[in-house]
């Protein structure tokens, strides 16, 4: 249950219109990637790759 709640929250902030909110979400994803089991880290990597196509340079750089 908590996994679905966390994923829903992350998706919500990653789709926010504000670049600052998206950058904060990317930083949170990176922190989660350090503490989650390896099976779930692949999902985080896929999300971070998505942001390499963001409209704002600072968001793209943050996702590296």
Three-class secondary structure assignment of the chain: CHHHHHHHHHHHHHCCCCHHHHHHHHHHHHHHHHHCCHHHHHHHHHHHHHHHHCCCHHHHHHCC
Each residue's pLDDT tens digit in the chain (64 positions)? Answer: 556 677 777 778 888 899 999 899 889 888 888 888 887 788 788 888 888 888 888 988 887 8
Is 2-62 CATH 3.40.1000? no
Domain chopping of the chain, boundaries: 2-62
């Amino acid at each position: 249950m908590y996994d679905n709640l966390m994923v829903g929250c992350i998706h919500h902030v990653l789709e926010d219109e504000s670049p600052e909110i998206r950058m904060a979400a990317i930083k949170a994803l990176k922190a989660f990637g350090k503490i989650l089991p390896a099976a779930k880290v692949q999902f985080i990597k896929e999300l971070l790759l998505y942001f390499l196509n963001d409209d704002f340079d600072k968001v793209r750089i943050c996702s590296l």
